[in-house]
Amino acid sequence: MPYVVDITADLNDDDGSGEIWALLDEARDPSQIEIGALVVAGREHAAAMCEVTGIESAPTRGTLVILRVLPGLVEDYRRAASRALMS
């Protein structure tokens, strides 16, 4: 499934802590990126649900965004939400 991500990130990046890094200027809507926000990060062909855990000034490109990669697939969250919201 192609994804429309909230923020571009490389899911190959893994510093061993479960966190990856991104840049705010690669967010689709930067106003959605705030500490604690749940976002879809990655690219069209590979994405993950993530929690924004850090926002810092970047050395040269504005703002860094630290993301904690949550377990499972994006589709798992969609299915869980669908079950919860089913009337």
Partner 1 sequence: MRERRDIATRLRPEDPPGGDVLVIRGGPDTAGTLGQDAARTAEFWALEGVPLLGISVFAVLGMPLDQLLRDRFSRFSVIHRLQASYLAEFQLLPTFRSPHFTVRLQQANAEELSRLLAALGAPILNPEYHEVSDDPREAG
Q: Does 79 bind partner 1 (CB under 8 A)?
A: yes
Q: Could you give the 3-state DSSP secondary structure of residue 1?
A: coil
The site string for partner 1 over 14-43 (x = CB under 8 A, - otherwise) reads: xxx----xxx--x---------------xx
Q: Could you give the 3-state DSSP secondary structure of residue 3?
A: coil
Nearest to 29 by CA among 65, 79, 56, 74: 65
In angstroms, give the least distance from the CB of 4 to partner 1. Answer: 13
Contact (Cβ atoms closer than 8 angstroms) between residue 40 and residue 76: no
Closer residue to partner 1, CB minimum distance, 37 or 63 = 63
H helical segments located in 1-87:
74-85
Residues in contact with partner 1 by the rule CB under 8 A = 1, 8-16, 21-23, 26, 42-43, 45-48, 56-61, 64, 73, 75-76, 78-79, 82-83, 86
